[in-house]
Amino acid sequence: DTAVSQTPKYLVTQMGNDKSIKCEQNLGHDTMYWYKQDSKKFLKIMFSYNNKELIINETVPNRFSPKSPDKAHLNLHINSLELGDSAVYFCASSLTPGGNTIYFGEGSWLTVV
């Protein structure tokens, strides 16, 4: 069973659309994250949730809204998509906010055209 799973893996959509990426972890972890990897492969934290509560919110446009219905799920909704949103989005989880090892999903390749 995949520990951190995210869907969809590939998403091509037009500018201005609204889309969501879903993430689920079956590791029993309390903490979940969204990272963005740009075209140059640079990875940067976007959000972190602990037990459904937002604990880290980096400088990310308001068009990005994470939602955590329970501690095993952290979904990412993006409004009014722009060309610059094209990237790979990685969901991740760790046992606690200070939990040593962070486990990543396989990534969601978003292309905005």
Partner 1 sequence: GDSVTQMEGPVTLSEEAFLTINCTYTATGYPSLFWYVQYPGEGLQLLLKATKADDKGSNKGFEATYRKETTSFHLEKGSVQVSDSAVYFCALRSGNTPLVFGKGTRLSVIA
Quick one: which segment of 20-28, 36-44, 68-76, 79-87 binds partner 1 (CB under 8 A)? 36-44
The single residue among 42, 59, 62, 69 that binds partner 1, judged by CB under 8 A, is: 42
DSSP-assigned letter for residue 83:
G
What dihedral angle (degrees, nearest 10) is formed by the CA atoms of 55, 65, 77, 9?
Answer: -40
The single residue among 56, 60, 72, 95 that binds partner 1, judged by CB under 8 A, is: 56
Query: Does residue 45 interact with partner 1 by CB under 8 A?
Result: yes
* Shortest Å distance, C-beta 99 to partner 1: 9
Measure Cα distances from 5 to 1, 15, 25, 28, 48 in Å.
9, 26, 6, 13, 16
Query: Does residue 66 interact with partner 1 by CB under 8 A?
Result: no
Is 22 within 8 Å of 75 (Cβ atoms)? Answer: yes
Summarize as ranges the residues that interact with partner 1 (CB under 8 A): 33, 35, 40-45, 48, 56, 90, 92, 96-98, 100-107
